[in-house]
Amino acid sequence: MRDDIVTYIDAWHAAGVTDAVGDGPANWFALVDQRRATLKSADAKPAAPPAELRWAPASVSPVVRPAVAPTAASAQAHATAAAAQSLDDLLRQIEAFEGCGLKATAKSLCFYRGAPKARLMLIGEAPGRDEDIAGKPFVGRAGQLLDKMLAAIGIDESKVHITNTVYWRPPGNRTPTPEETQACAPFVTRQIELVEPDVIVLLGGVAAKSVLGLTEGILKLRGKWRALSVAGREVRSLATLHPAYLLRTPAAKRQVWQDLQLIAAALAT
């Protein structure tokens, strides 16, 4: 009996099924096709998502970001970021910015990957080694997993704008310090204003804490819609687990799959 079970699991594993993401069977191919069709056709009326996945503004908690005392670096970033009229302008301002110490040790500035304007914007933690070499966010193993996660809901690079809380790789891939994220935050805020997303997804605790100004751990923060006010516009934001965490903890893919369904449903409305 035990041998049968092992053979059965091995067969699934060989077919590429490596993790359990739910209790019941699901037709993933049908879901992907449905999302693709919805995103392709501007006229298509998407099927209403199940009630528990619907975006209900009344039940969404607005984010009240605590006032953070500006540092000299963040005040300078704020002044220059506010003047940027386009992403190209903003890139030039970030290139000229000397208020984030990470710039001194990084090889490249990693600004964004994907579309300049997008309904979906993802904000991760910080560039790693692969990103520093390529000069783009999320191109290493975590980025490849992220692309697969997005593909599962019918999203490719042409429909998403991907960036980080800081634009330079922290030495040795350490976590960026609150001072480093705070120094870059005015640029990230201006980037959000210029991209004009409808939905912002915060990948991991550092992004969730930096952008939302909340202090709880990511396992508590994830999976809930929060209304973020950006330049007078209300943007839906959702924190989820970081793909690098999923590489270390594949069982957590189940929670992220739930979050991806929330994101897909929000984009369909």
Q: For ligand URA, which is the closer residue by CB, 114 or 143?
A: 143
Position 259 contacts ligand URA (CB under 6 A): no
Residue 240 has, within 13 A of its CA and on its CB side, a CA count of: 25
Q: DSSP string covering 74-114, please?
A: HHHHHHHHHH--SHHHHHHHHHH----GGGGT-S-----EE
Q: For ligand URA, which is the closer residue by CB, 246 or 268?
A: 246
Please list every residue from 36 through 75 that binds ligand URA, using CB under 6 A.
Answer: none
Q: For ligand URA, which is the closer residue by CB, 136 or 190?
A: 136
Cα–Cα separations (whole angstroms), residue 166 to 39, 64, 77, 127, 144 = 30, 22, 12, 8, 20
Position 264 contacts ligand URA (CB under 6 A): no
∠ CA 19-257-152, rounded to 5°: 90
Question: Would you say 192 and 235 are in contact if contact means Cβ atoms under 8 Å apart?
Answer: yes
Binding residues for ligand URA, rule CB under 6 A, total: 13
Output the CA torsion 59→200→240→267 (10° steps).
70
Please list every residue from 118 through 137 that binds ligand URA, using CB under 6 A.
Answer: 124-128, 131, 137
Position 244 contacts ligand URA (CB under 6 A): yes
Residues belonging to the chain: 269
Please list every residue from 134 through 173 that binds ligand URA, using CB under 6 A.
Answer: 137-138, 140, 142-143, 164
Give the nearest distance from C-beta 212 to ligand URA in angstroms: 16
Q: For ligand URA, which is the closer residue by CB, 142 or 218?
A: 142
- The CA distance from 108 to 136, in Å, is 9
- The CA distance from 173 to 126, in Å, is 8
Give the nearest distance from C-beta 126 to ligand URA in angstroms: 5
Give the nearest distance from C-beta 144 to ligand URA in angstroms: 10
Give the nearest distance from C-beta 68 to ligand URA in angstroms: 21
Contact residues for ligand URA, defined by CB under 6 A: 124-128, 131, 137-138, 140, 142-143, 164, 244
